[in-house]
Structure 1
Amino acid sequence: MRQTFPLGRIAGIRLGAHWSMLVTVGLFTWVLASYLTGTASTVVVWTTAVSGAVALCAALLAHELAHSIVAQHNGVQVEAVVLWLLGGVSELSEEARDARADLRIALAGPLTSLGIAAVAFLAGAAAAAVDQDGPITAVLVWLAVMNTVLGLFNLLPGAPLDGGRVLRAVIWRRTGDRLRAATAAARSGQFLGTLLLMIGIAELILLGHVGGLWLMLLGWFLQSAAHAELTLAGLRHRLGHSMVRDVMTARPMAIPAAWPIAALLRSDAADSGHRVFPVVDDTGHPVAVVAWSDLAAVAAPARTTTTVGSAARALPAGALAREDEPLIDVASRVVLRPNLDAVAVVGEDGRLIGLITSTDLVLACDRSALGLPPRGRHRTGHPSATSEGTTP
């Protein structure tokens, strides 16, 4: 989930919001304004409704931030927390190393939401002593109810909900089988998503409630996410304990970002047979990836003045890896489209030392299914386009 609006950092964790969060804020404001009608003047009602909607979004952010902070304390690297249409996402770059850490990370969010609900309830009780029917009291009660619902809903036992993570951690702890645990949680998530989808359809058709659309959207999302997690569990089984170094192409052909496209077309890269190239800066650090389709999108007359760097696509943080990193961690955080994307492997100094494409991942999975190592013994590296002897 790419962030649209940066929201700063807390505990070193980057915070952001996707544009779809504006829809959520608008929906919360409308619902809360309807709930507050009659408690005060129209201006006060709408001002309070907007404040309450923003407060609920802050509670969503606190829920996800709790996951991320606990993850960091358990040695899991966190990329960012992003709010979006259906709540929030904690972008973890790797999985928990044991079942106990997995359980702690999963429970942190719902417990935070229930804690916020308790505080809002107590504040609402105090406000009621001053103005029982006022908008402030009503908003605090609404926040208490919404955070309670958020905490309890997330504890439903199906991935990718927090309850699914709890289920995975418990099964993992009891059986010692991480794959079995992840598969069970994902299948439970698929069932839960189907159930919510059916309830939403019934509510929309039989009762005529528009709220059924929301349940249908939630059900569809849970089904899709659970299917993705089931696919990832199968990928984890196939890749096993393979490391990045076992699959990467060492010394890949790298293209300087400052090169004009015309120079690339005259270089050895044009005859290499490769379809995707890493793009490096003047110091050898990978900064982008470029495919033939990216270059073809530039008009022929402009290829002498347009640099490769300007035509290339920036490498996301997840597309940088270390050679001693488990391959499944890389496969779980980045989607490699055939002939378009790649993962750049960097050394201690941040310079490019290897490359992984979608073909490499597919090959590793197929060989693993046959009981073979990820790659054969004889691997041929590809000299860099910046090395001696290469002519632009």
Structure 2
Amino acid sequence: MFTNAVKLFSIAGFDIKLDPSWLIIAAIITWSLGQNYFPHTLPGESPGIYFIMAIVAMILFFASLLLHELAHSVIARRYGLKIGGITLFLFGGVAELESEPRLAMEEFWVAVAGPVMSVALAFGFWALSLIAQLADSPAAAVVVLSYLATINLILALFNLVPAFPLDGGRILRAWLWHRSGDIQRATGTATKAGVAFAYVLMGLGLLALFQGAVISAIWQIMIGGFLLVAARSAYQEQITRVTFSDRTVSDLMRREPITVGPDLRLSDLVDQVVLRHGLSFVPVVEDDILLGHIDRAILLKIDREHWSSTRVGDVFAGLDETPTLPPDTPVEDLMKSIAKTGQRKFLVVEGHSLLGLISLSDIVRHLELSDLVVARTRSSSLP
């Protein structure tokens, strides 16, 4: 998800990463606190004091976000769910769950853990601000602690909005899932709430823009846009997960794909296979034994004038360079390989025998057909 994120350290076995976009929000928060919030809340201090207050508040705010996501991660791990790490980025922080909860109650407890942590932090910072006041500590310390108490409470309340994929949306999905037993339908309903909230947030941003609150408006529009994309993406991931649950590549592969032998000339390969069938990736087979593959990238390395004198066996990529998969590979693992390597086509192989070919387009086609079946089933069930 965050390909440019840099690992900073590990806490309790969780990798803590920082996306470069975090630098933008860190700078905005520091500037906003140092130039506006703290001078308004505590007038009369020097710019240097405001800057130090802003830096301390920003660091402790993101530490609070980190603890919020750690709470999600710890509960998720307790239920046996895999966590890819925790990443701080432009819009806060995210715990990267590599697997979804299997039961509605697991979903509920993982989702509610973050807001509970934020409420606890709000209470803790509020208590510390009271202690600081009673101990006659510097006013700057009291103001910073009060700000952190307020911002953690706001963070908890915002995340409890029943709009997927916010924590409140996941709590809503858990409740709907528990009632109906249908996680896909529950995800669909929670996603609609998330999309509606995203549009409301962007609408409020546009209203603020016309009222002259430019920075606040842009921020609301950006957050709304992010939530809109995240909600739709999460729903699509859920559909994909349900569709391909317990499916292997042998269920989706194209059996008996077109193959070529090593003695075929490249000119004939282009005329008879590549152009006629619209293929860019062709297995090379001899006597029912898979030797490797030839693709468009290999062809482009050979000058056209040499195609008629060059045979496939002279230039093809061997098995060690050919993307292959055993037939019992789960489709979810295949999708992870596609995302990780960028390779879009794989040969399904058992020993040295070619069983079939599977590509990203096969997965997309199957997903589209499944969506169509679901849509028709739901429409036919309407009164």
Q: CA deviation at 1:43?
A: 2.2
Size of the aligned set, in residue pairs, is 323
Q: CA deviation at 1:120?
A: 0.7
Check if 1:175 corresponds to 2:180. Answer: yes
Q: 1:359 aligns with which of 355, 361, 367?
A: 361
Q: 2:205 aligns with which of 200, 207, 220?
A: 200
Q: Are the counterparts in 2 of residues 321 and 343 from structure 1 also a CA contact under 8 Å?
A: no
Q: CA deviation at 1:66?
A: 1.5
Q: Are the counterparts in 2 of residues 106 and 165 from structure 1 also a CA contact under 8 Å?
A: yes
- Amino acid paired to 1:359: S
Q: Give the unaligned 5+ runs of structure 2.
A: 258-265, 283-293, 302-316, 349-354, 374-383
- Amino acid paired to 1:5: V
Please give the TM-score of this superposition, normalised by the length of structure 1.
0.69
Q: What is residue 103 of structure 1 aligned with on the other side?
A: 108
Q: 1:116 aligns with which of 117, 121, 142?
A: 121
Distance in 2, matches of 1:71 and 1:345, equals: 35
Q: CA deviation at 1:161?
A: 0.7
Post-superposition CA distance 1:295-338 (Å, at most 9, x none): 969xxxxxxxxxx9xxx9xx9xxxx999464x45865x68759x
Q: What is residue 37 of structure 2 aligned with on the other side?
A: 35
Q: Give the unaligned 5+ runs of structure 1.
A: 253-265, 278-289, 298-307, 347-352, 372-392
Q: CA deviation at 1:365?
A: 2.8
Check if 1:224 corresponds to 2:229. Answer: yes
Q: Are the counterparts in 2 of residues 190 and 226 from structure 1 also a CA contact under 8 Å?
A: yes
Distance in 1, matches of 2:78 and 2:327, equals: 22
Task: Check 1:202–1:367 CA distance in 2 against 1; reply closer, same or farther (3 A cut).
Answer: closer
Tell me which structure has the larger Cα radius of gyration. Answer: 2
Q: CA deviation at 1:363?
A: 4.0
Distance in 1, matches of 2:186 and 2:203, equals: 26
- Amino acid paired to 1:143: L
| Partner SS for 2:164 | coil
Task: Check 1:126–1:56 CA distance in 2 against 1; reply closer, same or farther (3 A cut).
Answer: same
Q: CA deviation at 1:237?
A: 5.3
Q: Are the counterparts in 2 of residues 40 and 134 from structure 1 also a CA contact under 8 Å?
A: no
Task: Check 1:59–1:295 CA distance in 2 against 1; reply closer, same or farther (3 A cut).
Answer: farther
Check if 1:166 corresponds to 2:171. Answer: yes
Check if 1:48 corresponds to 2:53. Answer: yes
Q: What is residue 341 of structure 1 aligned with on the other side?
A: 343
Q: What is residue 136 of structure 1 aligned with on the other side?
A: 141
Distance in 2, matches of 1:198 and 1:55, equals: 31
Q: CA deviation at 1:54?
A: 0.9
- Amino acid paired to 1:14: D
- Amino acid paired to 2:87: V
Task: Check 1:328–1:165 CA distance in 2 against 1; reply closer, same or farther (3 A cut).
Answer: farther
Q: Are the counterparts in 2 of residues 3 and 82 from structure 1 also a CA contact under 8 Å?
A: no
Post-superposition CA distance 1:83-106 (Å, at most 9, x none): 100011211111111111111111
Identity %: 30
Q: CA deviation at 1:370?
A: 8.3
Distance in 2, matches of 1:107 and 1:176, equals: 20
Q: CA deviation at 1:35?
A: 2.4
- Amino acid paired to 1:360: D
Distance in 2, matches of 1:5 and 1:342, equals: 27
Task: Check 1:29–1:239 CA distance in 2 against 1; reply closer, same or farther (3 A cut).
Answer: same
Distance in 2, matches of 1:183 and 1:14, equals: 31
Distance in 2, matches of 1:172 and 1:330, equals: 28
Task: Check 1:75–1:124 CA distance in 2 against 1; reply closer, same or farther (3 A cut).
Answer: same
Q: What is residue 215 of structure 1 aligned with on the other side?
A: 220
Distance in 1, matches of 2:32 and 2:210, equals: 22
Distance in 2, matches of 1:163 and 1:102, equals: 11
Aligned Cα root-mean-square deviation (Å): 4.2
Q: What is residue 282 of structure 1 aligned with on the other side?
A: none
